[in-house]
Structure formats: C-alpha cells, structure tokens
Structure 1
Amino acid sequence: MERPEIYTDNYNSLEEWIELRKRNEEFVYPQFFVPFREWMKDIEQKSDMEIKELLRILLQPYTLGVDTVDTYEFYKEYVQDKVNKEKNLQTYELCMNQLKYNERIYRIKNKQEAWEGLTWVLPLLNINPMKALKALGMYFDAECIYMPDDRIYGISDAMDIIEEKYIKSASDKNAYIFSLTSREFEILIAILYEALGYKVNLTKATRDGGKDIIAEINENERKEKVFVECKLYKTCELKKETVRALGYTMLSEEATRAVIFTSGYATKALKEMDTRIQIFDMEEMILLLNANLGERWYTDFERLKSNFVKN
C-alpha cells in the first residue's frame, strides 16, 4: 500500500512536524504517521524520551470529521434505499451486521473519541516491548477494516519504531554478556524463560549432563518440558559434540525439546543438525532479551538477578 505524496507545506523537518502536532493549532498532514522515513536510520541515537514523544503522536486518540452519528444514519439510509431498489434483503442484513459489530459507532454515540488511543502500550517498551508489538497488532486486526489510511500508516510506523529501537538495538550488550560469569549467564537465560511464562529450575553449578535450565509450562493445551544449555564462549565455535550430547540427554529424560544459547559462533549446518534442538547465537539471543525483558535489561540485571535468587 503506497503512501500519499501530498503533504501540507507548513513544516520542513520532523522536528517542525512534531511541534505542530503537539500544539494542534493548525491542520497538518500527515497527522498520524511519520512524514520523514529517513529518520529511522538514526533511531539508535535517539533518546527514549524522543522516541516516546513521537509515539504519543502516532498513537493518540482522535475523531475525524466524518466520525459522526449523522454519517452513521446517512449510511443506514443509503443501504436501505439500495436494498429497496435491488430488492435484496440479504445485502441490508450484511451491512447492518457490519455496523452492529463496529465498536467505533458505539464510541461516537457515547461522545467518545472515535479512534481509541494506544499510548497505554508505552510503559511496556522498557519492560517487554514484544507485548507492546502484540497489542498494536491485535488492535490493527480488530479495526483495520474501517481504519483510515493515516492511522494504518501510523500503526505500521509505531511498530517499526518499537522493533528497531527496543528489540533490534544491540549497542554494548555483546560486551556486557561477555562480562558475565557462566553462572550469571545461566541466570540471565533463566530470567528470560520466566518472562516467557515458564516455571524454571536452574540446575546445580556442576557437571549436569548437558542441561543448565529445565523450563516447564503446563497451560491449557500448551505443555512443554524444555532443556536449556548455556554456552558462554569468548571466541569459540559451538561444537557438534555439545549438540549431540544435549540431544541424548533430552531423549533419555523425556524432554519435549531443547535449546542452546551461545555467545560463540554456530554454523548453519550445526543449527540444522537436530530439529529438536534450537540454537540461538549472540544476535538472536539479544533480540529475545530485548523483546521480553526490555531494551535496558543489561542495566537492570543486578535487580533481576537478586529477585530471581530470592524466589
């Protein structure tokens, strides 16, 4: 879906556009999506405050000029007239059912904003940005049929911004992981699995037969017993003997599947060696940590570790 190329001429930069949108004293287009996509190139240098200021604009509640009860009544009359001409009652029932399940109509009737605000996802960005993405995705699925283009692009921009800033950001996290002890690395991954909803058992810090963490979940139809092995390497490549040993352990102790987290290098062939075993390298691991513990997890690790040990 191509974006419109007709913008208002009362701004020349993103900063000017943001200021106009914040003041809300004159019309500006676009209202709810970012007019300068090249801004995304430097997103990692933008502060948390700058990012959230922009997201508040993209996700604020609003009502368009056509979002009125009169428009709703006009549409009903239009459909009724069309049905009378075509003698097709099925068309009328179909259109009326669509309106009946359109929550926007009820909000308009109750004198609320036609399009609800989504700024309530912002507190999730530093804790669990993946939940924020899922929330925006669900909102889009529920409302996209009636959603104006401006809002469609805005939701898309918001999701791109969250993914680039709060999930894909790596910065100095590699160095931080290398600074951990092997046990701290295991605790970090155990905390990740707790955030994913698993009950976690961290095995003793001894030779354990190829598993550092046992992660279990038993919710409705989801039942899993996952063996997790953590390999903190500075320069070493993950070896096939490690993968094979974990596979034997998983089989003998009836685990559902197994996962290896490694700060070292894992070849494509090694990742495909055993379909029951998933291997996450440094880049993939940081994406998971960012998504489920928040982009600043590494500055908060001591508190997270303390809470984990207490529990």
Structure 2
Amino acid sequence: MSKKPFVNAQELTLDEWLKLVLVPEQMRPCLIEDSYFVTDQHLDEYINSIHDRDENEIQIILNNFLISGGHLGVDKTMRSWLLSMTLIEREKKKAQHSYFKRLLDISGSSSPWQGLSWVIDLLPHFPQEAISSIDAYFLAHCQLLPDGRLDGLSDASKIIRSRYLEHELPVKNVLLNLTPRDFELLIAYLYKSKGYNVVVTPRVSDGGYDVLAERENNRESERLHIECKRYEENIGVIIVRGVLGTLVVKNATKAVIVASSFFTKPATIEAKKSKRIELINLDDLDRDMRKIDVNWTSKVNEYVMKMKSSYNKLLNE
C-alpha cells in the first residue's frame, strides 16, 4: 500500500489541482483523483479558459479522463461476485457482456478493460468522430463503469467539444469578405473535398446554379446543382422557389443552396415540402468546413487559390 498522503481535490483550486495532476503519477508527492473534474466549479473554470490552455496540457487531461485499459478498482469486487455464481450463471453473464468474459478469463498481462485513449489521435482534425467514439464507449459500458469514470468520459467530451468544435471563429465576417466568385470557389472546394467532381459555371449564363457537383458509384449517381448565396441577410422563400424551378428543366438529382447567413422559416418549410433541395446555412457550412480543418477560416485564401488554379481557363471566359 502506498504511503503517500491522499489529497481531497475538492479542497483545491483548479490551478492547485492541475499542478498535481499534470505531474506523472509516479512522481507526485500525494495521491489525488485525476480521472475527472471532482467539482462542477473546476469543470466550468477549465472550460471557460479552454482556449488559453496549452495543447500538451489538454492531451494529458484527456488521457487521464479516458479509459486507457488495464484494471479499475471495481474489477476485484465484480470478479468475486461472478465467481460466487454457479457455472451456468457465469456462462450466461459472459454471454451478456464481453467485460464479464474478459474478467473471468483474465490471465497474465491481459486486462478486462479495453482502452479508449486512442481517440486523442483523432484530434484536432476529427473532434466529432472523437466525441462519437466516447459516446459509443459510454453506451456500451455505462452499466459497468464506476460513477467517477463515467464523469471522466463526460468531461472529456465537453473538453473536446469546447476546444475543437465550439470555439468562436469569425465565420460570417470571413465569408462576407470574399467576393461572390471566391465564395463559389470555396464551396466548390468543399464539395471536391467530399469526393465530388466539381465544375464552377461561367459568370454569364450559369444556368441557375453556380457549382455542378457530380459523384457516382456502383449503386447510384448524384448530380447536384449548387447555388451559392453570399448574403448578409437571411435567404427567403422566393430564392428557394427559384432554385427549385431549375430542377424542372435541368437534369439534376438535387439542388443545394449554400448561404453565408440563414434561411427564413417559410424558405425552410418550402424546402422540406420538395425533398429535392438541401439548405446549408452558416452553421452547417462551418461544421462541414471544420471536417477539413478546424481552423479553416485562416486558410480560406489557400482553398480559393487552389480552385482558381484548377479552373483558371473557365474563370477567364
């Protein structure tokens, strides 16, 4: 048994707690809970200062909060409970959950808990995928994990969401500072990144859409007519109806309106009636661009220049 004293983290400030938990466990002068924020105040204070935090610190905290495999304190009690059952009962439990099987079959270096800390490798570029992985792990193990570990998974998701998904980017200002043509090129770049073959239509006689995006596989083919609206005001129903009208005479599977603003309620209702038009507002566009790079707003000119290089001849028509 360790002779190090146990320190109650609830009695510490956030900075005092961080000073201890950021030190490797074997080098700490005391024992302290480091697998979750032990108070709501600590959590709120950390989230509120998340953008001032060092990336290395974020990763250490996440690694502490996520299950890294091995053993947990609950294992001994759980295994004793299983061993108290009859053989038939134990076999039923093993069939119910792989954790029970691993716990009963444990030997040598094997461990009952499968690690989750690998999701850190998804950051910073795939934060939503990291959160989805934590949610799936939570769902699979919520009836077995101790409360502190469940809190740790929840806290890890909040850190990732606040750090990589909800931080404020000057999205609308960046888009409005683009020319309408450069905005179209940015949207073309987005769809090219999604795997579509894209064509930016000429300035004159664009046929009612700004970008043509096509993609096909063995099952289906898509032909999207994308209208790009770099507007400060919200997009109304008249524009939606106009874009829908082009589908009558154009060979497209769906129309898409991408806006630097939002859509009015009548416009949204009209789109839902049709089912052949997709409305992408400012927030939707931001989410899609973050899948390319969480700091995409700083690279807009780079994306536009790549598309200009690809369509230089077309743009000069």
User: The TM-score by the shorter chain falls in which range?
Assistant: 0.7 to 0.9
2:52 is the alignment partner of 1:46: yes
Which amino acid in the other structure matches residue 271 of structure 2?
A: D
Match of 2:166 in 1: 168
**What are the superposed Cα offsets for residues 239-295 of structure 1, whole Å, 9 maximum, x if unpaired?**
4332112212234435343321212342122122221223233234223323x1232
Instruction: Label 1:295 to 1:159 Cα distance change in 2 as closer, same or farther (>3 A).
Output: same
> Is the 1:43–1:164 Cα contact (8 Å) retained in structure 2?
no
2:271 match: secondary structure? coil
1:1-311 matched pairs, under 5 angstroms: 8-9=8-9, 11-23=11-23, 24=25, 25=28, 26-29=30-33, 31-33=35-37, 35=39, 36-39=42-45, 42-43=48-49, 45-47=51-53, 49=55, 50-59=57-66, 61=68, 63-67=71-75, 72=79, 74-80=80-86, 89=88, 91-100=89-98, 105=103, 109=107, 111-112=109-110, 114-195=112-193, 197-206=194-203, 207-218=205-216, 224-233=222-231, 235-275=232-272, 276=275, 277-290=277-290, 292-305=291-304
Match of 1:3 in 2: none
> Is the 2:10–2:38 Cα contact (8 Å) retained in structure 1?
no
* Aligned positions, number: 292
**Quick one: distance in 1 between partners of 2:223 and 2:104?**
45
1:230 match: secondary structure? strand
**What are the superposed Cα offsets for residues 161-211 of structure 1, whole Å, 9 maximum, x if unpaired?**
22233222233232222222223322332333344x442313223242232
**Quick one: distance in 1 between partners of 2:256 and 2:245?**
13
Which amino acid in the other structure matches residue 77 of structure 1?
A: L
**Quick one: distance in 2 between partners of 1:114 and 1:19?**
31
Q: Higher RCO, 1 or 2 (CA under 8 Å, sep at least 6)?
A: 1
Which amino acid in the other structure matches residue 203 of structure 1?
A: V
**Quick one: distance in 2 between partners of 1:147 and 1:56?**
17
Instruction: Tell me the CA shift for residue 231 of structure 1.
Output: 0.8
Instruction: Tell me the CA shift for residue 122 of structure 1.
Output: 3.1
Q: Give the TM-score normalised by the residue count of structure 2.
A: 0.75
**Quick one: distance in 1 between partners of 2:269 and 2:99?**
46
> Is the 1:174–1:282 Cα contact (8 Å) retained in structure 2?
yes
Instruction: Label 1:41 to 1:305 Cα distance change in 2 as closer, same or farther (>3 A).
Output: same
- CA RMSD after TM alignment: 3.5
Instruction: Tell me the CA shift for residue 79 of structure 1.
Output: 1.8
Instruction: Label 1:304 to 1:54 Cα distance change in 2 as closer, same or farther (>3 A).
Output: farther
Which amino acid in the other structure matches residue 46 of structure 1?
A: D
Instruction: Tell me the CA shift for residue 297 of structure 1.
Output: 1.1
Aligned-residue sequence identity (percent) comes to 27
**Quick one: distance in 2 between partners of 1:223 and 1:140?**
37
**What are the superposed Cα offsets for residues 191-240 of structure 1, whole Å, 9 maximum, x if unpaired?**
33344x4423132232422323334455676764433221112x344243
> Is the 2:37–2:155 Cα contact (8 Å) retained in structure 1?
yes
> Is the 1:59–1:119 Cα contact (8 Å) retained in structure 2?
yes
Which amino acid in the other structure matches residue 262 of structure 1?
A: A
Q: Which moved more, 1:141-150 or 1:221-230?
A: 221-230
> Is the 1:126–1:296 Cα contact (8 Å) retained in structure 2?
no
Q: Give the TM-score normalised by the residue count of structure 1.
A: 0.76
Gaps of 5+ in 2: 1-6, 311-317
**Quick one: distance in 2 between partners of 1:31 and 1:226?**
47
Gaps of 5+ in 1: 1-6, 84-88
> Is the 2:236–2:266 Cα contact (8 Å) retained in structure 1?
no
